[in-house]
């Protein structure tokens, strides 16, 4: 029994029919709202990021989540890592997941 039913019983009135059903409807509406406002955009963003990572090619200018900008010089066969040059004779090997954006061509100078 919930509080409203107890209050109605104390007044001598019959409990409202369908009171439990209205709570179920509110719960379902909240779950649908969470799906459309949280889960769906997150899935969409994850798919876009996977598409970006799958499309990486040698010569792409990229930005990492650490703020390092460089040019992809090699993608090893395992495709888990990527070799990025950030300056003259400076090549970093980093995980592919750390790339967050592909910059437009010509953004970086002297690489």
Residue 97 sits in a domain of what CATH number? 2.30.30.140
Task: Check: CB of residue 92 under 8 Å from CB of residue 66.
Answer: no
Domain identity same for 28 and 8: yes
pLDDT of residue 9: 56
Task: Check: CB of residue 71 under 8 Å from CB of residue 84.
Answer: yes
How far is Cα 109 from Cα 40, in angstroms, rounded to an integer?
Answer: 38
Domain residue limits at 24: 3-52
Domain identity same for 98 and 68: yes
How far is Cα 95 from Cα 100, in angstroms, rounded to an integer?
Answer: 11
Structure confidence by residue, pLDDT tens digits, 21-66: 888 999 999 999 999 999 999 999 999 999 999 989 999 999 999 9
Alpha-carbon separation of residue 82 from 5, 47, 87, 88 (angstroms): 64, 20, 16, 17
Residue 32 lies in a domain: yes
The number of domains in the chain is 2
Residue 108 lies in a domain: no
pLDDT of residue 22: 87
Residue 38 lies in a domain: yes
Domain identity same for 81 and 95: yes
Top pLDDT among 9 and 28 is at 28
């Amino acid at each position: 029994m919930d509080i409203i039913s107890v209050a109605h019983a104390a007044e001598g009135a019959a409990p409202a029919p369908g009171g439990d059903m209205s709570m179920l409807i509110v719960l379902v509406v909240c779950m649908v709202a969470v799906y459309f406002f949280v889960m769906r955009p997150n899935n969409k963003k994850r798919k876009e990021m996977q598409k970006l990572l799958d499309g990486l090619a040698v010569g792409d200018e990229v930005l990492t989540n650490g703020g390092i900008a460089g040019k992809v010089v090699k993608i090893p066969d395992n495709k888990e890592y990527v070799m990025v040059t950030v300056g003259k004779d400076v090549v970093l090997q980093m995980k592919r997941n750390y790339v967050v954006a592909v910059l437009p061509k010509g953004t970086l100078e002297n690489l």
